[in-house]
Structure 1
């Protein structure tokens, strides 16, 4: 009886591309049988395999995948989605612009731990013109958002208890609406219970 009240929805990966064991794919957000948003997900790896700096970088094949996948969505749906989001773990070098911009919302408590190799992903996002927000993790004492050339770069909030970080554990909630810019806010876990 209770089970009948709820339907099970599965997230389907689309346009998957695996390069060096790192996958990129999209998730389509559907409202009333219409795709309203495309969520791009790119696994940026962990440590740099070439010994250049500490952290890995987005592969050129994944940057090209972003361009081609964007074009495929434009062709398939014959309109340009304007409210898409991109997710990866390690922040891009462009997140360091928080030091130059100075205007940010949230907490900026540790240096940006990004790759020393610039993949060109941010440039491709600008050229595509359909991604309004990017989200990453990795730096556990950061949860800020900045606007860089029309793309809001955001950190999530550290959620795990078995890792470093002084921030209260929580998550970033993202709210999507058709034909509107997304909203996001940080929710903190109440660990008294």
Structure 2
């Protein structure tokens, strides 16, 4: 999405030639294959551990860290693996997204008309909101040390990126939709007055 927004705002004349169906399909296939391989590495690593203690996970779901805590094996190498894979899967894409948005903001600031700037900012604002919610909680859960951290905070953050972000994602993108705004206006004129205030 950030690359799509980058092309649409920074290179609008080249957008159709670069962002075609072929590049979209290739991007999706590469991302799915990388995700599958990394998930497979984590799965194989967890299956190679020895579990001897209680089998109760103190979490909402079978997250990676709570499963590691159940193991009687030495998991220090898995923590290193988590940081390496976390950097590759979380920090590197986040850095690329931030760089693309820096270029987008610089391009938007060069637009002379205020309405053009507003249109460009609203085009990117929904994606940027979702990215910040998702990556912010993901980085806080997996890349910061968890020793001494409250279990409840870790659970809430995990719940936020697994449930709240996907739940809010369509809502955030829908508020930008003109048809949605027209439907709200037809359904409830009071809501229209309230939004204008």
TM-score band, normalised by shorter chain: under 0.3
> Between Structure 1 and Structure 2, which shows a larger proportion of helix residues?
2
> Between Structure 1 and Structure 2, which shows a larger proportion of strand residues?
1
The structure number with the bigger radius of gyration is: 2
TM-score normalised by the chain length of structure 2: 0.27
TM-score normalised by the chain length of structure 1: 0.28
